[in-house]
Amino acid sequence: MTILLSDNMRGAAFMSITMAAYVANDTVMKLLSDQLNLYQAMFLRGIFTTLLIGGLCLFKGVLIYRIPKGDRLTITLRLVGEVGGTVFYLTALFHMPIANASAILQALPLAVTLAGAIFLSETVGWRRYLAIFAGFFGVLMIVRPGSDGFNEYSMFAVIAVLFIVLRDISTRRLSVGFPSLFVSLLTSVSVMTVGAGMSLTEEWRPVAFSEVVMLAVAASFIIFGYLFSVMAMRVGDISFSSPFRYTILIWAIILGYVVFGDIPDSWTIMGSLIIVGSGVYTFYRERYVYGKGHRDDHNDSSKRTA
């Protein structure tokens, strides 16, 4: 029996698969933290990722692309955000439970909404502002500065969110014709280059064949996530599929327990629920306001043509 899914349900499924792929990558990288240094792992994984994305660019005919003058500063800021986010998030991931790091990162949609209002003059009503601040309160519940269970590396995850906000805001400012695959290639090359340079400041550890395989698997999961994230954005309503990004917390808790034996405490669980609730409400309000604006425009147009 063939089961037919609506476009919205397929988009939600693709988003859930995307999140699973990202958590799987994080899990493999965290496993490697006992055998490899941070920048060494970044560099070696970057080699595989760059080769895979480069192959896709060659296949699509966008391996070589002349960056328009108006996009050069924007793409530079995006790369700074991507590299900074990668460095700080992997540092946090190497030193704290994967569920906690993933939960803090889920404040990203709220932070991007706030940054859009501040830097891009996007309209955000008081309800969404309340949801944003509630979400940030959820982050504080997970980080809990000053508490006995405070892990200073939690702040690295928070800083990673700020860098990723810079990445996402810059992405919005890129020209429409800028190939997404080429952006991904520049990103991968930048992360690999920074990893290569910074790895010279660390003592390189011997790399076994099994670790090479794990790095290749981590890179494959990232590419898998990239592909399904594009599919998720192109099928159904984004406002419907976007809240399913929070399934990453489910995957992180499951893999954190199965692979590392980590069990989130009550504060982390409550903080995660607040973040998820705030994020879902923000998506709902954006969908409502967007839909209302279109209805109003339609009504005004009908009146003008009546």
Residue 270 in contact with residue 42, Cβ under 8 Å? no
Instruction: Give residue for tokens 């200073």.
Output: 152
- Condensed to tens digits (0 to 9), the pLDDT of residues 182-237 reads 888 999 999 999 999 999 998 899 999 999 999 999 999 988 887 787 677 666 66
Q: Domains of the chain: which residue ranges? A: 12-200+217-228+242-293
C-alpha pair distances (Å), 132 with each of 139, 166, 171, 256, 287: 11, 17, 21, 27, 16
- Condensed to tens digits (0 to 9), the pLDDT of residues 113-151 reads 788 788 777 777 778 788 888 888 888 888 776 555 556
178 or 121, which is more confident? 178
The vertex-160 CA angle with 31 and 112, nearest 5°, equals 130
Residues 260-278: b if buried by 16+ CB within 10 A, e if exposed: eebebeebbbebbebbbeb
- pLDDT for 163: 95
- Condensed to tens digits (0 to 9), the pLDDT of residues 39-82 reads 999 999 999 999 999 999 999 998 989 999 999 999 999 999 99
pTM score above 0.85: no
- The H or E element containing residue 130 is helix 126-143
CA distance 110 to 135: 7
Residues 6+ apart with CB under 8 A from 255: 23, 24, 27, 98
CA distance 107 to 103: 8
**Average pLDDT, integer, range 241-268:** 86
